[in-house]
Structure 1
């Protein structure tokens, strides 16, 4: 696809979502979840964590946006092969890393089992989910296309939000263990995000950039206040939920609407964005290796508490991103799959 016909805003979202993945894993790989939520430092860390958490939802909305016109053909299904090849490549790379760098016992049998069960690389749970979404997507498209009116399509999205996002937000701390919503279908939240992407593509939904940005900032701020409130000076309790939470859906949708229609004409700006977008899956999977390497080095060579390590956020995230990007770029140049 030429630069003229690319969705440059979508490339920008994929690039930012990729950076958000590496950023949100900062909190996974440090002691954030063991630290009491007290003081301005932890408030800022919680704010960043709640913002960066929209990384996976952004990829899912983007999938709905980009795959909306696809039909169940052999040509379409053949395109899942590169994803599987990339997944296997990084699984093998991770197995070798675990065996020869981390010193783990990795037999041939448990390595093969790890690949088939998406356990060789713990970040590859996304591939486990994405394969199923990719396979069913053309049939979701057929269903959506046969809904005759805009109002009925909006009802579809709203019903899916009730089935997946409302229980993801309400059932737990936010419901005060008193009220709850039916949650049997909450696991299908990727389909909710997928249809949101389709709906935005279908009707080219717009949002005022200034007010939308302000709404996003205030929404993340409100979510952060809720997390602090429910933690009560203790550890992070995920009071508002995770990817399947209504507030995370709202954050991700707002963010997507702010950037999906952005036009980038400067080729010097567009080129790195497009490259990161192209390598987003590589960087995501390779970041398990770079995260393990970088955080292991940091904690073995420096004595830092969770408050102090926030000052290292930029260098650490930058280093792990650069390492993952380099691995992805080497794969791109040596193993062509598209």
Structure 2
């Protein structure tokens, strides 16, 4: 009986691996931000490789959003005020980890001699989602909406209507990243350098910023209809490689030999990131074993749990690591051979600090429960 209970409660290794990979991809994207990549003309073999890597790592935020849709869509959350209150209380540990993480960042900056990091700046930093906290700003809204999104998904009883729902959201969010990024007045203009003032829109572009909802429903679709173990990972991997190379070539071409362009076509909700993120999500969960050694399972679960706080604290770990990198190794071209070491160093430091933050968060929550 205990063995059966153990099998039923066994964690989904694929989802833990997905979350860890998403976190490492976040830290990888930060490499380009902190080494001057966006200031250097996109010319030469080394810069082309870096552009391809940057394009590949942009699956980070979409993977987290797909995970949210995949996990939350399986829950039954009746739309009754008592159930909503109970569900909304689950965000308290997240907000507490966020607040403690930001406090650690500001405290370390202050100890390092930056007196501008005072209590007032900390408060406004937390409420203003400073450092790398824009994701928290977005996630709070997604969390509040998720019971209603889940019920919308559950209320639809057939696959075709689910696909219609996703098609509408994709049209509103993914569509503009393809059809609203060119000057269409002439053939010459299409191939000219990007100019914000000369872009023609073919689709409504106002709704682009609801792309987290598109990923939410895509995650729900993957949970509802996709059996990962029946898919061939070789085919998924081939599709991923083709998408990454096509996307990288397009990004390089649209940069026209200048610095790497961060535009709508390669934004979080773009076609290239949506397609590559779905492939990565499927690939990881197709290859992930159903069972692993219990110690390995617990280790992966623990690291997966730390990723949120580690993401917040990576603002600090990045500053510490890249102050050394830029002073001793040089800019992006010179530091490129050390990219894996640099990324793992920042990730490890962030995770180590996150372990302390999560420990403190749990103690505070335990104390508040006892006092009640």
TM-score computed with the length of structure 1 as normaliser: 0.93
- Give the Cα separation in 2 of the matches to 1:29 and 1:264: 38
**Superposition pairs for residues 259-338 of structure 1, below 5 Å?**
259-261=284-286, 262-267=288-293, 269-300=296-327, 302-336=328-362, 337=365
Matched position secondary structure for 2:132: helix
Whole-Å separation in 2 of the counterparts to 1:232 and 1:102: 42
Work out the CA distance in 2 between the residues paired with 1:216 and 1:197.
Answer: 18
Q: Match of 2:95?
A: 84
> Is 1:110 aligned to 2:136, yes or no?
no
Single out whichever of 93-102 and 56-65 deviates more from structure 2. Answer: 93-102
Greater displacement, 152-161 / 107-116: 107-116
Tell me the alpha carbon deviations over residues 154-194 of structure 1, each in whole angstroms, 9 at most, x when there is no partner.
11001100101111343225974345321111111000000
Please give the alpha-carbon distance, in whole angstroms, between the structure 2 residues aligned to 1:220 and 1:324: 28
Residues 53-64 of structure 1 correspond to what in structure 2 (within 5 A)? 53-64=58-69
CA contact 2:182–2:200 (8 Å) conserved in 1: no
Q: Could you tell me which residue of structure 1 aligns to residue 14 of structure 2? A: 9
Do 1:290 and 1:321's aligned partners in 2 also have CA atoms closer than 8 Å? Answer: yes
Which stretches in structure 2 are left out of the alignment for 5+ residues? 185-189, 191-198, 367-372
Whole-Å separation in 1 of the counterparts to 2:345 and 2:183: 37
Conserved? CA contact 1:264–1:270, under 8 Å = no
Structure 1's 258 and 102: CA in aligned 2 closer, same or farther, altered over 3 A? farther
**Displacement, 1:218?**
1.2
Return the match for 1:65 from 70, 75, 91: 70
Distance 2:182 2:37 in 1: 20
Distance 1:66 1:166, change over 3 A: same
Aligned residue number for residue 167 of structure 1: 176
Distance across 2 between alignment mates of 1:64 and 1:255: 15
Q: How much has 1:75 moved relative to structure 2?
A: 2.7
CA RMSD of aligned residues (A): 2.0
Other-structure match for 1:232: 256
Mean Cα deviation higher: 231-240 or 190-199: 231-240
Question: What SS does structure 2 have at the residue aligned with 1:279?
Answer: helix
Q: Give distance in 1, aligned partners of 2:225 and 2:300.
A: 26
Over 3 Å counting, the alpha-carbon distance change for 1:280 and 1:232 in structure 2 is: same
Superposition deviation, residue 334 in structure 1: 3.6
Mapped to 2, the partners of 1:213 and 1:190 lie a distance apart of 24
Contact kept in structure 2, 1:169 and 1:241, CA below 8 Å: no
2:270 matched to 1:249? no
Does the CA-based 8 Å contact 1:169-1:247 persist in structure 2?
no
For residues 103 and 225 of structure 2, the distance between their equivalents in structure 1, rounded to whole angstroms, comes to 42
Find 1:23's aligned residue among 23, 28, 33: 28
Q: How far 1:238 sits from its partner (Å)? A: 2.8
Tell me, yes or no, if the aligned pair for 2:43 and 2:257 is still in contact at 8 Å: yes
Post-superposition Cα deviations, 1:118-138, rounded to whole Å, max 9, x if no partner, equal 12xx21111111111011101
Note if contact 2:329-2:335 (Cα within 8 Å) is conserved in structure 1. no
Cα distance between partner residues in 2 of 1:30 and 1:102 = 23
